[in-house]
Amino acid sequence: MNTATRLGAYGLGLAVVFGGAFAAADAVVPQSTVTHWTQQAKGHQMNTEMSSGSSTSGHAGHTGHTGQAASATEAAVHGVSSAQDGYLLTPVTAPGQIDKDGTLSFRILDAHGEPVTNYTTEHDKDLHLIVVRTDGTQFRHVHPTLAADGVWSLPWSWNAAGTYRVYADFIPADIADGTD
């Protein structure tokens, strides 16, 4: 069999496989689910594309709280949203190049747009910041420091380029004490 025939057969095989996958997905996933996903996805913007170095540090037993980040709407799926339960993770600033020392910083704002400055300590820290490359090959779990003006920051250097998501795990003190 010559090369052109082999490539043609390979292309036809791929078309059959992809066509079968498309047909199977259409049969398995209800249209109402597709409509719901489409409505949720409208208006989402990826705000926290960043790059980071790798680390395997972390804490076992974490459960999700408020303030996870990655897109700009409150109706987003938990864990991929910059706003949740009335709290907003402001855009993250960090060095723009790999191997360049700088500062990673952000703020958590309440429903009134004011910086949150009082947190409940959980797992020995007020806030756990998790930065994960979207392909899962880079990961950092760090604990920035909080300034009086509500800015969280820490020294930062990127070891590898890529697209990253930032997750802020915290409990505001007003929620923990029931004053919200």
Instruction: Provide the β-strand partners of residue 65.
Output: none
pLDDT of 159:
86
**Is residue 59, in this structure, part of any structural domain at all?**
no
Give the CA radius of gyration of the chain.
Answer: 21
User: With 90 as the cut, is the pLDDT of residue 35 above it?
Assistant: no
Whole-number Cα distances in Å, 135 to 17, 38, 139, 162: 24, 23, 10, 9
Band of pLDDT at residue 29, cut at 50, 70 and 90:
confident
* C-beta of residue 108 within 8 angstroms of C-beta of residue 84: no
> 115-137: b or e for each residue (b if 16 or more CB lie within 10 Å)?
bbbebeebeeebbbbbbbbeeee
Same domain, 34 and 71: no
**Is residue 86, in this structure, part of any structural domain at all?**
yes
Domain that holds residue 158: 66-176
The DSSP output letter for 77 is P
Closest C-alpha to 122, from 84, 81, 65? 65
Mean pLDDT score of the chain, rounded to an integer?
76
pLDDT of 163:
85
What's the token pair of residue 25? 């997905």
The total domain count for the chain is 2
**Is residue 56, in this structure, part of any structural domain at all?**
no
pLDDT of 46:
34
pLDDT of 178:
58
pLDDT of 50:
37
- Its pTM stands at 0.55
β 151-156/145-146 pair status:
antiparallel
**Is residue 52, in this structure, part of any structural domain at all?**
no
